[in-house]
Amino acid sequence: MKVSLVGLPGGGKSTVGRQLAKRIGARFVDSDAVLEERIGMPIRQFFEQFGEAAFRDREEAVIDELTAEAQAPGSQALVLATGGGALLRPVNRDRLRARTTVIYLRSTPEELYRRLRHDTQRPLLQVADPLA
């Protein structure tokens, strides 16, 4: 079984992903954690230094790699938590849909705000009014 969890930032993808992977005996991978390891800095810092387009290029490559690995014969079950903006690129949507079972975790704007209101590490939320 290969599962991708998608949704907005703060939607619970990593939290649910860890629990689901444990329950079904799968490997859990957080694409943001893989990205941070590869770029050698927090995502917010990378955004500030290199911009969103450069980040999305790196994210696209990681999603391609992780989902391609999931297709390899004999690969173990996988639960992949994607970044909150991963679906902004059609190629990511296509790869996730073709290579995994995609589960969208839906949350209300109010719930997301409650979870993230003190989080300063999510670059897409660093705006004057995140609820606007």
Query: What does the domain layout of the chain look like in residue ranges?
Result: 2-125
Cα first-last separation, the chain? 38
In terms of C-beta density within 10 A (0-12 exposed, 13-18 middle, 19 or more buried), how is residue 128 classed?
exposed
Which pLDDT band holds residue 70 (cuts at 50, 70, 90)?
confident
Q: Are 58 and 35 in contact (CB under 8 A)?
A: yes
Pick the CATH number of 2-125 from 3.90.1170.50, 3.40.50.300, 3.10.20.30, 2.40.50.140: 3.40.50.300
Which pLDDT band holds residue 101 (cuts at 50, 70, 90)?
very high
β pairing state of 2-6 and 78-81: parallel
Q: Note the pLDDT of residue 72.
A: 82
